[in-house]
C-alpha cells in the first residue's frame, strides 16, 4: 500500500498541475491545500500517517506554485477552488474533507462555499480570510513596484541571514525556526519570474496595504452543518491567533485547537500531534451531506 507521498502531474485546461498522493485511492479523501509560496511538500510529514489509517490523501501544488504551471491568469480564491475541484473530479473523487493552511484556508473555505455538496468537513490551519490583521511584509508586497523588489528579498545571502537570526532567537527560547525556514524556502521560489508574478497577483486579490481585504466571517454561519475544526499556532507571526478565537466564537459548534509552542506552520512544527488531531476529528465526526434545500434555508436565514 502506498503510504509514502508520490508526486504526479496532470494537464488540466492546458496547464500542468502537480500533486502528491498517499494511500490506495479507495479510502475517504482528504484534500490538503498549502499556503502562499509554499507547495504540497509542506504536508509530506503527515501524509503517511493519514494513509496508514486508510485515508486517500491528495495535496496539489496550486497554480503558480511548486511544479504546477504559472500562467498569466486568474489567481483569485474562486479560481483556486475551481482548480482543486477540477483535479478531484479528474481523479475520480466526488467528496472530501478539506484542510487548508494560510492561503489554503481561504481556498478551503471557498471550496466549501462554492461546492457545498463536495465538502464533508472543513479544517482551517492558521487561515487567512478571518480578520483584517496580517504581517506587515505581506502588506508591503502589495504596493506598486513590489514585484521589482521581491528578487532582492529572495537572494541566498539574505535568506541565510534570516536563518541565522532564527537560530539565535531559538537559543533564547523563541521557537521561530520553522517559520524562518518555511518562509525562506517560499521566498527563494520568488526568484523565478512566473512564480513572482503569481505571488503578487494572488496577494493583491486578498491583501492590500491596510491588511486582509477578503473576509469569510460574514459567511461562516454556512458552516454550522459541517464538522469544522480550526487549528492555530499561538506564536504565529503572520496571522494572529486571535483570528482563531474569533472564528470559534462565530461558529459555536466548531472546535478550536491552539498549539502553544507553534508558529505559522503547526503541521510542520508538530506533525505527529497535528496528524493525530486530524484523525481524531475526522473519525469522531460524521461527514456532512448538505442537500440543496438545506443550503437554501441557510441562505434565507441571512436575509431575515
Cell of 238: 503572520
Would you say residue 48 lies in a domain? yes
DSSP 250-282: HSTTSEEEEETT--S-HHHHSHHHHHHHHHHHH
- Top pLDDT among 24 and 50 is at 50
Would you say residue 90 lies in a domain? yes
By CB atoms closer than 10 A (0-12, 13-18, 19+), residue 208 is middle
Q: Where are the alpha helices (DSSP H) in 115-262?
A: 136-140, 146-153, 156-171, 177-188, 193-206, 242-250
Q: What is the rounded average pLDDT for all residues in the chain?
A: 86
Would you say residue 168 lies in a domain? no
Per-residue model confidence (pLDDT) at position 156: 47
CA distance 62 to 40: 8
Cell of 280: 481524531
- The CATH number that applies at residue 280 is 3.40.50.1820
Which CA distances in Å does 98 have to 30, 70, 231? Answer: 6, 23, 13
Would you say residue 179 lies in a domain? no
Statement: residue 177 has pLDDT above 50: yes
Please compute the mean of the pLDDT values over residues 61-78 and round it to a whole number: 95
Per-residue model confidence (pLDDT) at position 169: 41
Q: Find, among 150, 153, 111, the residue nearest to 129 by Cα.
A: 111
Please compute the mean of the pLDDT values over residues 156-183 and round it to a whole number: 51
CA distance 18 to 87: 10
Report helix angle 193-206 to 103-114, nearest 10: 60
Q: 206 and 213 in contact (C-beta within 8 Å)?
A: yes
Per-residue model confidence (pLDDT) at position 187: 65
Would you say residue 205 lies in a domain? no
User: Count of domains in the chain?
Assistant: 1
Statement: residue 185 has pLDDT above 80: no
What is the span of the domain harbouring residue 63? 6-133+214-301
Would you say residue 10 lies in a domain? yes
Catalytic residues: 102, 236, 264
Statement: residue 68 has pLDDT above 60: yes
Q: To the nearest whole percent, how much of the chain has pLDDT over 70? A: 82
Q: Residue 95 in 3-state DSSP?
A: coil
pTM of the model: 0.89
Q: To the nearest whole percent, how much of the chain has pLDDT over 90? A: 64
Would you say residue 138 lies in a domain? no
Would you say residue 188 lies in a domain? no
Cell of 24: 490506495
| pLDDT tens, position by position, 223-250 | 878 999 999 999 998 999 999 999 999 9
Banded pLDDT at 301 (limits 50, 70, 90): low
CA distance 140 to 187: 14
| pLDDT tens, position by position, 131-151 | 999 988 788 888 887 665 555
CA distance 239 to 150: 21
Banded pLDDT at 193 (limits 50, 70, 90): confident
Banded pLDDT at 221 (limits 50, 70, 90): confident
Per-residue model confidence (pLDDT) at position 79: 97
Amino acid at each position: 500500500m502506498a503510504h509514502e507521498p508520490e508526486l504526479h502531474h496532470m494537464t488540466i485546461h492546458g496547464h500542468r498541475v502537480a500533486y502528491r498522493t498517499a494511500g490506495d485511492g479507495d479510502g475517504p479523501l482528504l484534500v490538503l491545500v498549502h499556503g502562499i509560496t509554499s507547495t504540497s511538500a509542506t504536508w509530506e510529514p503527515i501524509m503517511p500517517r493519514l494513509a496508514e489509517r486508510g485515508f486517500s490523501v491528495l495535496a496539489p501544488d496550486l497554480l503558480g506554485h511548486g511544479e504546477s504551471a504559472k500562467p498569466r491568469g486568474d489567481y483569485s480564491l474562486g479560481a483556486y477552488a475551481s482548480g482543486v475541484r477540477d483535479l478531484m473530479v479528474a481523479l475520480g473523487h466526488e467528496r472530501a474533507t478539506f484542510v487548508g493552511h494560510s492561503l489554503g484556508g481561504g481556498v478551503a473555505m471557498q471550496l466549501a462555499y462554492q461546492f457545498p455538496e463536495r465538502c464533508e468537513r472543513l479544517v482551517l490551519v492558521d487561515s487567512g480570510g478571518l480578520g483584517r490583521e496580517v504581517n506587515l511584509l505581506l502588506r508591503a508586497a502589495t504596493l506598486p513596484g513590489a514585484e521589482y523588489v521581491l528578487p532582492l528579498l529572495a537572494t541566498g545571502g539574505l535568506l541565510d541571514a534570516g536563518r541565522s537570526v532564527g537560530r539565535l532567537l531559538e537559543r533564547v527560547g523563541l521557537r521561530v525556526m520553522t517559520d524562518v525556514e518555511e518562509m525562506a524556502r517560499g521566498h527563494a521560489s520568488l526568484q523565478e519570474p512566473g512564480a513572482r508574478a503569481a505571488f503578487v497577483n494572488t496577494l493583491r486579490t486578498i491583501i492590500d496595504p491596510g491588511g486582509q481585504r477578503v473576509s469569510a466571517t460574514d459567511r461562516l454561519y454556512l458552516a454550522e452543518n459541517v464538522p469544522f475544526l480550526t487549528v492555530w499556532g499561538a506564536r504565529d507571526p503572520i496571522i494572529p491567533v486571535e483570528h482563531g478565537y474569533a472564528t470559534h466564537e462565530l461558529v459555536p459548534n466548531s472546535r478550536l485547537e491552539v498549539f502553544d509552542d507553534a508558529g505559522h506552520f503547526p503541521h510542520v512544527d508538530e506533525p505527529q500531534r497535528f496528524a493525530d488531531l486530524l484523525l481524531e476529528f475526522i473519525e469522531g465526526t460524521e461527514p456532512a451531506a448538505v442537500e440543496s434545500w438545506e443550503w437554501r434555508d441557510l441562505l434565507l436565514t441571512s436575509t431575515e
